Amino acid sequence: MKTITEYRPLIFGELFAQSGKRRAHLRRLGWSGVAIAAYGFFGLLLSLDTGFGPWNWQFWMAFGPLFVAGELLSRELSMRRRSG
C-alpha cells in the first residue's frame, strides 16, 4: 500500500495538467468574445449604414462575406499559432 507521499507527484501532476487546460480554454473563450463583439459591431454599423435589419436578406448578402472572411482569418491565425 502506498502512502500519501508516494502519491503526491501523481496528484500534483494532474492538478497542474488541469490548470494548463483551463488556462488554454479561457484564452480561447477570450478570443471568441472578441470575435463576437467585432461581428456585432460591424453588423450594427452595416445595419445603420444600409438601413437593412438582420431580418432582411439584403443585410445577409452584405454581411455574409464579412462573416466568412472573419472566420477564415481566425482559422488561419489559429493554424499559424499552433504550427509556430
Cβ(69)–Cβ(62) below 8 Å: no
Residues with Cβ within 8 Å of residue 60, at least 6 apart in sequence: 54
3-44: per-residue pLDDT in tens?
Answer: 666 767 767 777 777 777 777 766 766 777 788 888 888 888
Domain that holds residue 34: 4-83
Contacts (Cβ under 8 Å, ≥6 apart) of 46: 52, 59, 62, 63, 66
Q: Give the helix ranges, DSSP H, for the chain.
A: 4-50, 57-83
Give pTM, 2 decimals: 0.55
Report the number of distinct structural domains present in the chain.
1
